């Protein structure tokens, strides 16, 4: 399984999770089968509300899930349309988030439970 965690830095497993999917400086991708990491810079992190295109940085990366602090309904729907599920994890590092994911203790983000940008950190 390939897990994408939007992060504040490019510190691998020690990187802190970013509060919001589209505004992350980096995407840390963990491959649970190979136990490997890849860090990708998000060149689209600075954008107008609703205008982000974070998936463009993730093209051809074959992501299975995204774990982040939050994301808007449109982003959730775009991910889901591509067969990617989104899960919420407010704080911690990539290592913390992966551990919680493997334990099955993360809440799925749906279009109904997505951020409306008044209830999530940006």
7: its two tokens: 């992060």
User: Is residue 122 assigned to a domain?
Assistant: no
Q: Is residue 121 part of a domain?
A: no
Indicate if the pLDDT at residue 121 is higher than 60.
Answer: no
Contacts of 25 (CB under 8 A, 6+ apart): 7, 8, 9, 10, 18, 41, 42, 45
pLDDT band at 60 (very low <50, low <70, confident <90, very high): confident
Distance in Å from the first CA to the final CA of the chain: 27
Q: Is residue 15 part of a domain?
A: yes
> Does 78 fall in a domain?
yes
Give the integer Cα–Cα distance in Å for 73 and 66: 14
* Residue 36 belongs to domain with CATH number: 3.30.420.130
Q: Is 114 a member of any domain?
A: no
Q: What's the predicted TM-score (pTM) here?
A: 0.83
Phi-psi region of 55 (alpha: psi -120 to 50; beta: other; left: phi over 0): alpha
Count of structural domains within the chain: 1
> What's the pLDDT at 47?
44
Average pLDDT score over residue span 76-89: 90
Distance (Å, whole) CA 94 – CA 18: 10
Give 29's pLDDT tier (boundaries 50, 70, 90): very high
Residue 26 lies in a domain: yes
The predicted pLDDT at position 48 comes to 46
Q: Quote the Cα angle for 70-75-81, to 5°.
A: 130
pLDDT of 88 over the 80 cut: yes
Which domain range does residue 76 map to?
2-109
User: What is the per-residue pLDDT for 28?
Assistant: 95
Q: What stretches of the chain adopt beta strand conformation (E)?
A: 2-7, 26-31, 36-41, 65-68, 85-88, 107-109
């Amino acid at each position: 399984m390939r897990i994408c965690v939007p992060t504040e830095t490019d510190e691998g497993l020690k990187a802190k999770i970013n509060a919001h999917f589209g505004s992350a400086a980096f995407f840390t991708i963990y491959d649970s089968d190979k136990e490997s990491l890849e860090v990708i810079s998000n060149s689209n992190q600075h954008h107008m509300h609703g205008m982000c295109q974070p998936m463009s940085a993730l093209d051809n990366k074959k992501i299975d899930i995204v774990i982040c602090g939050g994301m808007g309904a449109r982003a959730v729907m775009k991910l889901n349309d591509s067969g990617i599920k989104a899960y919420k994890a407010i704080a911690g590092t990539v290592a913390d988030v992966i551990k919680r994911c493997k334990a099955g203790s993360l809440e799925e983000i749906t279009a109904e439970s997505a951020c409306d940008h008044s209830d999530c950190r940006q």
